[in-house]
Amino acid sequence: MTTNEEIVESLVSESCISLFNDYSLPLKRTEAKTESNDTDLLYCGVVGFTGEQMRGAILLATTREPLGRTSPVNDTSFREWIAELSNQLLGRLKNKLMSRGVLLHMSTPVVLRGQHLTPLTANELKPLVFECEGGVVCVWMDAEIIGGVDLAVEQADSGSISEGEGMLF
């Protein structure tokens, strides 16, 4: 039986892959262990979230190349773009969780810049690691799932609008 944590990991992975794919950068999930001194992670966006069923933060960190390759404008500020990517990543995850009855409220993103970035969490938290052309993308999902919720139960169409879509009223 798939646990809630495994489901969240799967949804985060799907969200990250589809997000970068929408910006024309295919990602490949890798099981390679990433230690902070193995990968020169330079930029990290952090977005917090809270809700009745789940709360925590998501961290998206990349080397320089994935930011340059995915930015939709020239001369982008990497600080701006990692903030927006983090925001869109959590937004995507939020929409997926909505179909499983979980509602999240998001904060606005904070950006960190440095070398060998890695979060220090209370519990050992391993990143989801993705390889791409020219670099690496890592995601840490530091989430507390409140007892009683069963993420395996997917609801019928939640009526949410999908990424890239829109409507006029």
Partner 1 sequence: MKKILVVDDSATVRQQVGLALTQAGYAVVEACDGQEGLAMLDKGGVAMVICDVNMPRMSGLDMLENLRRDPRHAAVPVVMLTTEGHPGLVERAKKAGAKGWIVKPFKAELMISAVSKLVGA
What residues make contact with partner 1 under the rule CB under 8 A? 22-23, 71-73, 76-77, 80-81, 83-84, 87-88, 90-92, 94-95, 98, 103, 106, 108, 158-169
> 39: part of which helix (H) or strand (E)?
none
CB of 17 to partner 1, least distance (A): 14
- Residues 169 and 9: their CA atoms lie apart, in Å, by 35
Of residues 72 and 147, the one with the C-beta less far from partner 1: 72
Distance of CA 152 to the CA centre of its chain: 20
Size of the chain, expressed as the number of residues it contains: 169
> 127: part of which helix (H) or strand (E)?
none
Of residues 37 and 162, the one with the C-beta less far from partner 1: 162
Of residues 31 and 165, the one with the C-beta less far from partner 1: 165
Of residues 104 and 129, the one with the C-beta less far from partner 1: 104
Question: In this structure, what token pair is assigned to residue 59?
Answer: 């961290």
Q: How many CA atoms lie within 13 A of 42 on its CB side?
A: 11
CB of 56 to partner 1, least distance (A): 17
Contact 65, 42 (CB under 8 A): no
CB of 105 to partner 1, least distance (A): 9
> How, if at all, do strands 28-30 and 128-132 pair?
antiparallel
CB of 42 to partner 1, least distance (A): 17
CB of 83 to partner 1, least distance (A): 6
Of residues 94 and 129, the one with the C-beta less far from partner 1: 94
